[in-house]
Copies of this chain bind each other. A is one copy, B any other.
């Protein structure tokens, strides 16, 4: 019973590197196919990534020896073999949105499932945008997606933006416990790795904060509504609430997005103690299925007054748990707290891998 061979599109980019690093020694998946821009194609990954590998963890030798293919050439992937080297792909493509959208569709049409980090298909109605602890049932749209498009084995599943990962699961936990939320104010303090490499210039981050990240507030306000939405006929219907207002800032932190939240409940309001109990007890399908990268406890609430902190909390439970703190009543809405998650693990490649583990467990990858 060998591992499932997996490909990575955009393998030389920052998220591509994270996939490679996180998949080393994965119990189910094995990286066997790498694709990137034509410029990298035809080189070994070691050559193609020379001077561009920016992770602390070194590139695994086996991956370094793989030949890089041209990501635009889907036939290379199908030739590698759907049943062979490339049973499905993680898409960490870095191109224009329209190109990514078309290319991901081409892979899916060729029979290769695509688990994507790109934002291109997040608002495609029949493409599920999944956080496995929240809306695993959205995967049920895959048969409809296939039917809509005449695809056989392929499909596309995406994950949401990194900025919402730290707090959406805690909010969902409250909703699931009978306390739906109507409105949320959120201010994020986001790490520079979210902008990739080279990304944010040092001159903008030494002794400074930048109070703007292009497109980030829109994603932060809108993506939760699809994730919390409902399967309807041939698409996902957005939830009507919560209404979200976001301020997104870039701060001099390498990894780990922090978010300060105030929230208002739609109906009855839990006490602070009830919220603590709900979060402490929260587990969901990834925990029940014991998925390899699932955190044992998805939500960790710290009691110290000055946590969570990026440097101390981002790596909690394989960097897949979210860490919360400062839970207290709000002076205007009902509750306030601070939330933190690792943006390039839970918020990027780790989140993509957890989606793939869920797909495997639900037998979409066989």
Contacts and interface: CB of A to CB of B under 8 A. Distances in A.
A325 to B, nearest CB: 7
A130 B310 CA distance: 36
Given A189-B251, A332-B243, A309 B203 contact: no
B187 A192 contact: no
B221 A331 contact: yes
Of A56, A202, A249, A310, most B-chain CB atoms within 10 Å: A202
Contacts of A309: 204, 208-211
A217 to B, nearest CB: 9
Contacts of A308: 211
Contacts of A201: 197-202
A198 B203 CA distance: 7
A219 interface: no
Interface stretch (A64-72, A92-100, A148-156, A253-261): A253-261
A192 B206 contact: yes
A183 interface: yes
B221 A260 contact: no
A172 B333 CA distance: 23
B203 A199 contact: yes
Contacts of A262: 185, 245, 247
Contact of A253 (B51, B209, B304, B312): B209
Given A245-B336, A315-B56, A197 B208 contact: no
A336 B209 contact: no
A189 B205 CA distance: 14
A56 B316 CA distance: 10
A204 to B, nearest CB: 7
Interface string A78-114: 0000000000000000000000000000000000000
Contacts of A269: none
B254 A251 contact: no
In the complex, which of the residues A187, A199, A306 has the most CB atoms of chain B within 10 Å of its own CB atom? A187
A330 interface: yes
A187 B260 contact: yes
A260 B311 contact: no
Contacts of A125: none
A171 to B, nearest CB: 15
Interface in A321-365: 325-326, 330-333, 336, 338
A333 B204 contact: no
Contact of A185 (B185, B204, B307, B338): B185
A211 B309 CA distance: 7
A311 B311 CA distance: 12
A207 interface: yes
Given A212-B306, A245-B330, A326-B212, A253 B185 contact: no
A316 to B, nearest CB: 9
Given A221-B331, A308-B211, A189 B189 contact: yes
A297 interface: no
Contacts of A221: 331
5 contacts: A192-B203, A198-B201, A206-B206, A209-B253, A243-B331
Given A199-B203, A212-B326, 16 more contacts: A56-B311, A183-B332, A185-B262, A187-B247, A192-B206, A193-B203, A202-B252, A202-B254, A207-B253, A208-B312, A209-B310, A210-B306, A211-B258, A211-B307, A211-B326, A211-B338
